[in-house]
């Protein structure tokens, strides 16, 4: 709080003080009181006013300086009501009481919104589990009756998008859904290949693996979903002929890296830095039907929550390489 601001805010009191100062001076002169007495009395009057004025200013300045300093330091500004000391002047007390009431009201509204969101997510998860049953049934019927491949492809797309919604919802509270333990990387990749085998055959994509017989610390279900998202992009942006996809692992003392490499149309350099952003589709996405820009966004988010790292490199019209780094459990190794 600046002194100039405080003076401007109390300008009326200062004007009244000057008015009474001049009034008493005139009265004393009319009463023919000695100048020394007038000087003494008015000096006391001025000193008393200045003392009260400066005391009130310093009291308020200390309070608001502390308040603004705490507010600046806090990342979560709403904690200010828990940190600030009580005020020892009326305006400060009223200010804090208002702040407490606003904070209380805000927390109530946030709790209501969170409860509403939890209820909606629970319903959505239940609905997704219910809708997956008829989708799985349709896929099985199409396999048994050997119907049109295009029809089966559309059903699989529905299944993929439904699953994407499920994992997006779960990723908001992932700590309740995943379990990190030692998993067989080869088995996870095998499940991904089996899930996509019909599309690989229909699209005439050659699939191969290299050095994938590794053990990694991850959540198998989540990791499989991430690989499916990467494979989905590889299928979507494949070349017309001689399409290939390779799963290649590399192990070091500190981590294992799994790279998924395809020889598809690649990604333009200008789009490469944005591919992990939510809903970003880029030029390839604009040219392809059904692109949502959510696949790699979820891969990045889920990798972060699992303690993994993901990076992407690509050369337009040549290849795309997505690499997931899974760290080893060095912490528990030290404990042992």
Burial label, 192 (beta-carbon count in 10 A; 0-12, 13-18, 19+): buried
pLDDT at 333: 43
Last residue of a domain, one of 38, 69, 85: 85
Q: Give the residue from 256, 267, 266 showing the smallest Cα distance to 319.
A: 266
Are residue 193 and residue 57 in the same domain, yes or no?
Answer: no
Is pLDDT larger for residue 147 or for residue 161? 161
- Asked if residue 11 is part of any domain, the answer here is yes
Amino acid 174: pLDDT: 58
Following DSSP, what letter does each residue of 246-281 receive, concatenated?
EEEEEE-SSEEEEEEEE-SS---HHHHTTTTSTT--
| pLDDT band at residue 130 under the 50/70/90 scheme | confident
Q: Which two tokens stand for residue 132?
A: 């997956």
pLDDT band at 316 (very low <50, low <70, confident <90, very high): very high
Spatial distance between the Cα atoms of 38 and 32, rounded to a whole number of angstroms? 10
Work out the number of other CB atoms within 10 angstroms of the CB of residue 137. 11
Based on the fold, state whether residues 48 and 191 are members of the same structural domain: no
Give phi and psi for 116, each to the nearest 5. -60, -40
In this prediction, residues 137-164 reach a mean pLDDT of 74
Same domain, 45 and 185: no
* Structure tokens belonging to residue 3: 């002194």
Q: What band does 245 get if pLDDT is binned at 50, 70 and 90?
A: very high
Residue 332 banded pLDDT, cuts 50, 70, 90: very low
pLDDT of residue 148: 65
Intra-chain end-to-end CA distance of the chain, in Å: 58
Q: Is 229 inside a domain boundary?
A: yes
Predicted local distance difference test score (pLDDT) of residue 255:
94
What percent of the chain clears pLDDT 90, i.e. is strictly above it?
30
Domain limits for position 37: 3-85
- Contact predicate 276/334, CB 8 Å: no
Of 34, 62, 85, the one marking the end of a domain is 85
Supply the pLDDT for residue 118: 79
Instruction: Report the C-alpha gap between 125 and 120 in whole angstroms.
Output: 9
> Could you tell me if 289 and 276 are in contact, meaning their C-beta atoms sit under 8 angstroms apart?
no
State how many domains the chain has.
Answer: 2
Q: What is the mean pLDDT of residues 178-199?
A: 91
Residue 239 lies in a domain: yes
What was the pLDDT predicted at 122?
76
Q: What residue has token string 């805010």?
A: 9
For residue 112, pLDDT over 50 is answered with: yes
Of residues 227 and 157, which shows the higher confidence score? 227
Q: Is the pLDDT of residue 111 over 70?
A: yes
Residues 190 and 327 in one domain: yes
Q: Which of 42, 103, 44 is nearest to 77 (CA)?
A: 103
Residues 59 and 187 in one domain: no
Position 173 confidence tier, pLDDT thresholds 50, 70, 90 = low
Q: Is there a contact between 306 and 258 (Cβ–Cβ < 8 Å)? A: no
Quote the percentage of the chain above a pLDDT of 70: 89
Q: How confident is the model at residue 299 (pLDDT cuts 50, 70, 90)?
A: very high
- What is the phi/psi pair of residue 213, to 5°? -80, 70
Q: What is the average pLDDT across 68-83?
A: 80
Higher pLDDT, 300 or 293: 300
- Long-range pairs of 191-200 with CB within 8 A, sequence gap ≥ 24: 191/224, 192/224, 192/227, 192/228, 192/231, 195/228, 196/228, 196/231, 196/235, 198/149, 198/152, 198/156, 199/153, 199/156, 199/235, 200/235, 200/245
Question: What number is the average pLDDT over the span 270-288?
Answer: 80
CATH code for position 303: 3.30.565.10
pLDDT over threshold 60, residue 336: no
Q: What is the DSSP letter of 222?
A: H
Is 287 inside a domain boundary?
yes
Q: Is 33 contained in some domain?
A: yes
Do 81 and 194 share a domain, yes or no? no
Q: Which of 85, 120, 150 is the last residue of a domain?
A: 85
Distance CA 163, CA 157 (A): 10
Fill in the DSSP letter of residue 328. Answer: -
Task: Name the range with the highest mean pLDDT among 12-21, 74-83, 108-117, 152-161.
Answer: 108-117
| CA distance linking residue 61 with residue 9, whole number of Å | 13
Within a domain: residue 274?
yes
Residue 196 lies in a domain: yes
Mean pLDDT (the chain, rounded): 82
CB 320 within 8 A of CB 312: yes
Residue 110 lies in a domain: no
Same-domain status, 325 and 197: yes
At 121 the pLDDT is 79
């Amino acid at each position: 709080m600046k002194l100039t601001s405080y003076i401007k805010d109390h300008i009326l009191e200062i004007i009244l003080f000057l008015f009474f100062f001049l009034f008493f001076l005139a009265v004393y002169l009319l009463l023919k009181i000695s100048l020394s007495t007038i000087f003494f009395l008015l000096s006391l009057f001025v000193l008393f006013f200045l003392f009260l004025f400066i005391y009130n200013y310093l009291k308020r300045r200390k309070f608001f300086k502390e308040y603004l300093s705490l507010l600046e330091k806090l990342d979560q500004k709403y904690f200010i009501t828990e940190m600030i000391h009580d005020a020892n002047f009326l305006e400060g007390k009223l200010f804090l009481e208002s702040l407490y009431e606003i904070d209380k009201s805000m927390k109530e509204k946030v709790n209501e919104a969170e409860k509403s969101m939890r209820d909606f997510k629970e319903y959505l998860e239940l609905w997704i589990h219910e809708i997956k049953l008829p989708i799985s049934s349709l896929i099985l019927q199409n396999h048994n009756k050997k119907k049109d491949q295009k029809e089966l492809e559309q059903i699989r797309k529905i299944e993929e998008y439904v699953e994407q919604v499920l994992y997006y919802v779960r990723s908001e509270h992932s700590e309740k859904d995943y379990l990190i333990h030692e998993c067989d990387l080869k088995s996870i990749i095998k499940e991904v290949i089996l899930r996509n085998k019909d599309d690989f055959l229909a699209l005439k994509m050659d699939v191969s693996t290299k050095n994938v017989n590794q053990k990694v610390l991850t959540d198998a279900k989540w990791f499989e979903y991430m690989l499916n998202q990467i494979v989905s992009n590889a299928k979507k942006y494949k070349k017309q002929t001689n399409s290939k996809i390779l799963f290649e692992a590399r192990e070091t003392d500190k981590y294992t890296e799994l790279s998924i490499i395809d020889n598809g149309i690649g990604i333009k350099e200008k789009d490469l830095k944005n591919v992990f952003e939510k809903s970003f589709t880029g030029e390839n996405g604009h040219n392809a039907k059904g692109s949502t820009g959510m696949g790699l966004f979820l891969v990045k988010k889920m990798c972060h929550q699992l303690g993994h790292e993901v990076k992407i490199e690509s050369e337009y019209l040549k290849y795309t390489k997505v690499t997931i780094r899974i760290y080893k459990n060095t912490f528990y190794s030290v404990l042992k």
